[in-house]
Each structure stands twice: as C-alpha cells, then as structure tokens.
Amino acid sequence: MIKEVILPDLGEGIDGAEVSEVSVSVGDIVESDDTILVLESDKASMEIPADVNGSITEILVSAGDELKPGHILMKIELSGDAPKEKVPVEEKNPKRKITTPNRKNRTKTSFGRFGL
C-alpha cells in the first residue's frame, strides 16, 4: 500500500517554508521518525519525519521549493512493519457468569413460598 506524506501544520505564525534539504532518495528504506526533509522559514528550521515504515517510491519536492501545509511531499510503499489496525485484546477481567439454583430439586418447607 502506498502512503502519501503530507506536510503538516508548521505551527503558529508559519504559513509556509522552503525545502533546504531532501534527506532521502527513491528506493531508500525509512522508519517512523526518520528525517525525510528539512525546511527553513524566516522563523525556524524544521526536520520533517516519516510517520510510517517503508520504501520511498516517489519524491514530489526538491531543494528550493516553497511549500505550504497540506502539500504532498513524497510517497512511501508501506513495509510489513507498518502500523496496522488495532486488534481487540481480551478483557483482563471477563464478566462472570451468574447461575441460579435449580428450583425443581428444592423441597418445600414450612416457610411458604420463599423456600427459606
């Protein structure tokens, strides 16, 4: 499965930034949190990490490009280690099954209908 890496919101007061370095090449294997791109704005320098494990299949930006949040940066082919849907875990304290005594086997007593 291919995952598009999209430039996230860069923070308060930063509307865009320039690509100063593309840290990966097509075919590179990346892990979650590896730096894939470095951006420069007039306020800060920012490293953009991969958010998945996989192989770079396409790079859609280059050094000098001006980017805004929401821009597609690159595409990554997810590896087998990629995050998957959460699998439900068995309850640690499963509900106990409550059973009631069998009334047919009771004998009648002088306490009437309550069977005490």
Q: Is residue 57 part of a domain?
A: yes
| CATH number, residue 37 | 2.40.50.100
Is 70 contained in some domain?
yes
The per-residue pLDDT for range 1-25, each reduced to its tens digit, is 999 999 988 888 888 899 999 999 9
Q: What is the enclosing helix (H) or strand (E) of 6?
A: strand 2-6
What's the pLDDT at 85? 40
- 66: Cβ–Cβ under 8 A, 6 or more apart, which residues? 16, 17, 18
In a domain, 72, yes or no: yes
DSSP state, 81?
Answer: T
pLDDT given for residue 43 in this prediction: 80
3-class DSSP state for residue 102?
A: coil
Residues of the chain with pLDDT under 50: 82-94
* Cβ-proximal residues to 19 (8 Å cutoff; 6+ apart), any chain: 37, 38, 39, 61, 62, 63, 64, 65, 67
Q: What is the span of the domain harbouring residue 13? A: 2-78
Residue 11, domain member (yes or no): yes
Write phi, then psi, for 105 (nearest 5 degrees).
-85, 0
Give pLDDT, residue 71. Answer: 94
3-state helix, strand, coil in the chain (%, to 5): 5, 35, 60
Instruction: Give a yes or no: residue 45 inside a domain.
Output: yes
Asked if residue 30 is part of any domain, the answer here is: yes
What local confidence, expressed as pLDDT, does residue 63 receive? Answer: 94
In this predicted structure, what is the pLDDT of residue 104? 57
DSSP run (H or E) holding 18: strand 17-22
Q: What is the pLDDT of residue 79?
A: 85
Domain tally, the chain = 1
pLDDT, residue 19, reads 95
The rounded distance, in Å, linking the Cα atoms of 110 and 113 is 9
In a domain, 113, yes or no: no
